Structure 1
Amino acid sequence: MNQSKKKLVLITPKADGKKILSAAQKQFNSLTKKIDNKKKLLMEWQETIPLYRQKVDEEYEPLEEALSNHKSEWVQLLDQSYNLPLFKKTDKLKMKHLICELAENLITEFNKDDLKTLFNKYSDEDYDTVNQQSESAVGDLMKSLAEDMFNVDLDDDVDISSPEKFHAHLQEKLREQADEQAAEAVKPRKKTKKQLEKEARQLEEDELASKSVREVYRKLVAALHPDREPDEEERKRKTELMQRVNTAYGKKDLLLLLALQLEIEQIDPEHLSHIADSRLKYFNKILKEQLSELDQETEQIEGMFKVDLNLPFYVLLTPKQLLLRLAKDIQELQGDIVAIQNELEIFHNPPALKAWLKTYKIPKNSDHDDFDNLLFGGMMPFGFK
């Protein structure tokens, strides 16, 4: 049964209407609503993720590949035009710059290794050599930053060929460091009477909270155990219900267990209003833990997509917003492809290419972030970064 379609387990005032809800009852209702909303959000993510992946695979990536192929055509067009008598020294300087910049980006971002020959032809350096030096410099920087940040000594031969291998090595060193510090640590101070009493109360509360869930579970098992049912159809129904009970109990899902009690009419809605606040506080403890776990689960999913999209951690990202962003990116790619096709057709005419080169200025290093706007005077949004 779809969780989002179930009726919320809420405490309502007693039938006489004279008693208002207590603080514990109000907290129970508040936690119930928050958990229900969080479950709906998680369900929406679970439904959205495969749809998102499918759209990326079937729509976005083919368009991105098509656009990168057109960009490769542009680099090759510059190469083919480079030695034409029409293009003078200033033109060739700009063409050389464009070929190197665009080829390097396509090789790095889209694995267009066939463009290495053109990069090497117009660059003063070999691409593989430059790339190796760059990776080495980045690796040394990562190693230095990690050592300073975590106060740990990394081996000189640490594998920095991939972030995953570097991270694994760093984690291993941190574990070794933690073990050494634990071994050298002095014996912990004896806990005060107040600290011991607090820990004892905490353990007692945890046990009582777990006991509350077990009590609900045992009542459901007693009513639904299929082995005690002689009727075959009823046994089948109880077997299905018991599967749901066991799943809910395994997840410590108190609300689902209570909902099942309501579903089989083991309790009625008014029963909840008679639960003593002394017991209800343990219910609320379980609900707080469940809400915290749901929060962590949604944060992990959102965080994964925020990293992929280069979004700050504080930006709100919902499943609907994720699909809207993808739709916008697909639309932009389609527009970019149309634009680059039109421009390639125009620039196959050497005089048109020369006229555009006259308006183009090689950006300074500080203008690198504005390269997209400078390239083609904004006419051709290639998205090189």
Structure 2
Amino acid sequence: MASSSGNVRIVEQKATSSLSSAQKTFNRLSKKIAKQREQLSAWQTTIPLYQEKYVREFDPLLQSFDGYRVQLVHLFDRLYADKIFSKTDRTKLQHLICAMAADLLDSGEHEELKEIYNRHSGSDYDAEEEQDNQEIKSMMERMLGVELGDGIDMRTPDDFIDQISRQLHEKLHQDAQDFENPPASRSSRKKSAKAMAKEARLQAEAQQVSQSIREVFRKLASTLHPDKEPDPEERARKTELMQRVNSAYSANNLLALLELQLEIEQIDQAAINSISEDRLKHYNKVLKEQSAELQQELDTVEMSFRAHFDFPPYGALSPTMAFTMLERDIAQIREDTAGLKEDVESLQNPTNLKKWLKAYRIVRRPAFDLNPFSGKF
């Protein structure tokens, strides 16, 4: 039977023997794919749970937190012209107004703050946002080597990630087609004998790889085809198994096909151990491609999660870490909200605000800092 992790591997048959290079590569790729599957499954399980907790606990606190920040923007704007404030005080007030207003506007809400932001910044929020949008778009196009088009909106993370994923998929598909069917202008050129031999070798390898997977599929289909089974219960079992076979074959999932062979005892561990070197070469090529596809899927899922929930684009992140950080953020924003509530009440008095401004220092805050203030009011 296959292991619970789904990790098909070749086992050394004698204490004195050692695995060949191809066998070691097979085991390494099989282990890597099993780990990638576990990571992908963990994200797929975690994301809806994280979303539910975020909506139920964090989002209401964030709305309350932002509500008090909106009140502070209006409060600072209203008190800005008060004669009690010096030129330095007003500079600090403008920094606070612009920082909070921009942060609130970046969330896609509180459109009424644009006029205040524009007046105190001496700029135009919409023009700045469009410029930022174009700069980020250009950067992503250079990094990924794709054209994102004019309609993409960097303010909508899910749509942005979907478009990037679609563009990358189309590019990979086109690259594969170009490799198999070179453009006429390129294919019409006279090729050297070495180039022709290499192309023929690659085509032969690709055909052999496809044939290797097809052979496993045919063996499974021959054994499991439900139309040949008279017993109703056994026919139902084989129908379910055949659906898994078809799904694995259509996904080019060699390991899943081998796992099914082990599951139905069509082969045993001895058969896995004795896979020929030539066959292993083909299998390893399939596994490398499968691992690369899984990694791309993992990267897309994680990138979408980071963008949707405002995680930094870089740095270690796992489902467990994400939940731990959410618990921390819930505790922090609850504390910050309580502090802001007190500040809104206290700073209505210009004298209190002037005292606070005396200690306030304008600093460049981190890009992902939730609270725009360097210290608690």
Q: Which residue of 1 aligns with 2:241?
A: 241
Q: Which residue of 1 aligns with 2:12?
A: 13
Post-superposition offset of 1:247: 0.9
Q: Which residue of 2 aligns with 1:93?
A: 90
**Max Rg structure:** 1
Give the Cα–Cα distance (whole angstroms) in 1 for the partners of residues 183 and 357 of structure 2.
Answer: 68
Q: Are the aligned partners of 1:205 and 1:282 in contact in 2 as well (CA < 8 Å)?
A: yes
Post-superposition offset of 1:318: 2.0
- 1:80-124 Cα deviation digits (max 9, x unpaired): 656878x3556973686367425632652343233456567x749
Q: TM-score, with normalisation over the residues of structure 1?
A: 0.74
Equivalent in 3, 26, 30 of residue 32 of structure 1: 30
Q: Are the aligned partners of 2:102 and 2:117 in contact in 1 as well (CA < 8 Å)?
A: no
Post-superposition offset of 1:131: 3.0
Give the Cα–Cα distance (whole angstroms) in 2 for the partners of residues 260 and 236 of structure 1.
Answer: 16
Q: Are the aligned partners of 1:13 and 1:21 in contact in 2 as well (CA < 8 Å)?
A: yes
Give the Cα–Cα distance (whole angstroms) in 2 for the partners of residues 45 and 262 of structure 1.
Answer: 28
Q: Are the aligned partners of 2:347 and 2:353 in contact in 1 as well (CA < 8 Å)?
A: yes
Post-superposition offset of 1:262: 1.1
Structure 1's 185 and 369: CA in aligned 2 closer, same or farther, altered over 3 A?
farther
Give the Cα–Cα distance (whole angstroms) in 2 for the partners of residues 268 and 286 of structure 1.
Answer: 21
Post-superposition offset of 1:301: 2.1
Q: Which residue of 2 aligns with 1:105?
A: 102
Q: TM-score, with normalisation over the residues of structure 2?
A: 0.75
Q: Are the aligned partners of 1:94 and 1:357 in contact in 2 as well (CA < 8 Å)?
A: no
1:322 aligns with 2:319: no
Q: Are the aligned partners of 1:99 and 1:119 in contact in 2 as well (CA < 8 Å)?
A: no
Q: Which residue of 1 aligns with 2:285?
A: 285
Give the Cα–Cα distance (whole angstroms) in 2 for the partners of residues 161 and 275 of structure 1.
Answer: 49
Give the Cα–Cα distance (whole angstroms) in 2 for the partners of residues 89 and 291 of structure 1.
Answer: 63
Structure 1's 123 and 34: CA in aligned 2 closer, same or farther, altered over 3 A?
closer
Gaps of 5+ in 1: 151-157, 176-181, 381-385
Gaps of 5+ in 2: 144-148, 172-181
Q: Which residue of 2 aligns with 1:337?
A: 337
Q: Are the aligned partners of 1:103 and 1:119 in contact in 2 as well (CA < 8 Å)?
A: no
Q: Which residue of 2 aligns with 1:353?
A: 353
Post-superposition offset of 1:213: 1.0
Q: Which residue of 2 aligns with 1:223?
A: 223
The 5 Å alignment of 1:355-374 reads: 355-360=355-360, 363=362, 367-369=363-365
1:63 aligns with 2:64: no
Q: Which residue of 1 aligns with 2:146?
A: none
Give the Cα–Cα distance (whole angstroms) in 2 for the partners of residues 116 and 187 of structure 1.
Answer: 57
Structure 1's 230 and 80: CA in aligned 2 closer, same or farther, altered over 3 A?
same
Give the Cα–Cα distance (whole angstroms) in 2 for the partners of residues 142 and 13 of structure 1.
Answer: 52
Post-superposition offset of 1:287: 1.3
Larger RCO (CA under 8 A, 6+ residues apart): 2
Post-superposition offset of 1:221: 1.0
The number of equivalent residue pairs is 347
Give the Cα–Cα distance (whole angstroms) in 2 for the partners of residues 352 and 4 of structure 1.
Answer: 68
Structure 1's 188 and 142: CA in aligned 2 closer, same or farther, altered over 3 A?
farther
Give the Cα–Cα distance (whole angstroms) in 2 for the partners of residues 68 and 137 of structure 1.
Answer: 25
| Secondary structure of 1:317 counterpart | coil
Which stretch has the larger CA shift, 73-82 or 34-43?
73-82
- 1:271-329 Cα deviation digits (max 9, x unpaired): 1222221222111221111111112211222333455546354x332222233333333
Structure 1's 160 and 197: CA in aligned 2 closer, same or farther, altered over 3 A?
closer
Structure 1's 65 and 262: CA in aligned 2 closer, same or farther, altered over 3 A?
same
Give the Cα–Cα distance (whole angstroms) in 1 for the partners of residues 28 and 57 of structure 2.
Answer: 42
Give the Cα–Cα distance (whole angstroms) in 1 for the partners of residues 53 and 350 of structure 2.
Answer: 39
- 1:349-369 Cα deviation digits (max 9, x unpaired): 5543343244446x4xxx444
Give the Cα–Cα distance (whole angstroms) in 1 for the partners of residues 152 and 26 of structure 2.
Answer: 52
1:378 aligns with 2:371: no
Post-superposition offset of 1:45: 1.2
| Secondary structure of 1:252 counterpart | coil
